[in-house]
């Protein structure tokens, strides 16, 4: 498990119509190894008309997730997501994607089964669940064990908060500050 790397992938909405994706690759201690972010995507009224209800599927998977994962130099062992829409990435690339859920969080899709990730006794971390698509179902138990080892000392949801804050910081900086 020494070379176990986790990619945390997320999307962020801001300015009422802009969407940005970000990925943070960490080691097993959630120490950052690589960070990537997309430029803000602002769908036009015409694109909204043409794509209809599949617009966000297209943006999140084809314009955010696939390019971000393909650009990584630090190849992760797994990708963790919170947004169910990203699970369809599994059919388009080979790094296993697992959805991380709080214990009481509802699922709304075709996910097959979940595994519970328990924290160590006395830990402040929540009990979590993971799920994936049928393509990577065979890796669910091994991934659960690896994530339990990480979750024993680290909150697995905390890197998603880092991504949110990083995207907020990027979007509030002036262009001159971003270059530094």
Residue 115 has pLDDT above 80, yes or no: yes
What pLDDT is recorded for position 171? 84
What pLDDT is recorded for position 127? 85
For the segment 91-105, what is each residue's pLDDT rounded down to a tens digit?
Answer: 999 999 999 988 777
Q: How far apart are CA 34 and CA 45, in angstroms?
A: 34
Contact 86, 61 (CB under 8 A): yes
Residue 34 has pLDDT above 70, yes or no: yes
What pLDDT is recorded for position 176? 58
Count Cα neighbours of 2 within 13 Å in the Cβ-side half-sphere.
0
Q: Which DSSP string corresponds to 108-134?
A: -S----EEEEPPPTT--SPPEEEE--G
- Tell me the domain boundaries of the chain: 6-173
Give the mean pLDDT of the chain. Answer: 88
pTM: 0.89
Contact 6, 78 (CB under 8 A): yes
The continuous run of DSSP H or E covering 26 comes out as strand 18-26
Q: State mean pLDDT over 151-156.
A: 90
Q: Which DSSP string corresponds to 134-179?
A: GGGGGGHHHHHHHHHHHHTTS-TTHHHHHHHHHHHHHHHS-HHHHH
Distance of CA 9 to CAs 123, 175, 179, Å? 25, 24, 24
Which distant-in-sequence residues (6+ apart) come within 8 Å of 99 by Cβ?
A: 80, 81, 82, 83, 84, 86, 87, 107, 111, 130, 131, 132
Q: How far apart are CA 158 and CA 99, in angstroms?
A: 15
């Amino acid at each position: 498990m020494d070379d176990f790397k986790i990619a945390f992938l997320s999307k962020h909405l801001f300015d009422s119509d802009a969407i940005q994706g970000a990925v943070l690759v960490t080691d097993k201690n959630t120490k950052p190894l690589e960070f990537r972010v997309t430029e803000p995507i602002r769908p036009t009224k015409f694109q909204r008309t043409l794509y209809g209800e599949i617009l966000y599927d297209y943006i999140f998977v084809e314009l955010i997730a696939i390019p971000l994962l393909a650009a990584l130099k630090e190849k992760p062992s797994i990708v963790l997501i919170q947004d169910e829409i990203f699970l369809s990435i599994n059919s388009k690339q080979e790094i296993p994607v697992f959805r991380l859920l709080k214990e009481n969080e509802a699922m709304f899709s075709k996910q097959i089964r979940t595994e519970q990730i328990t924290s160590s006794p006395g830990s402040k971390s929540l009990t979590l669940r993971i799920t994936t698509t049928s393509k990577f179902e065979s890796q669910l138990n091994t991934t659960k064990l690896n994530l339990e080892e990480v979750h024993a000392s680290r909150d697995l949801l905390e890197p998603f908060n880092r991504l949110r804050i990083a995207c907020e910081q990027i979007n509030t900086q002036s262009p001159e500050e971003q270059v530094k």
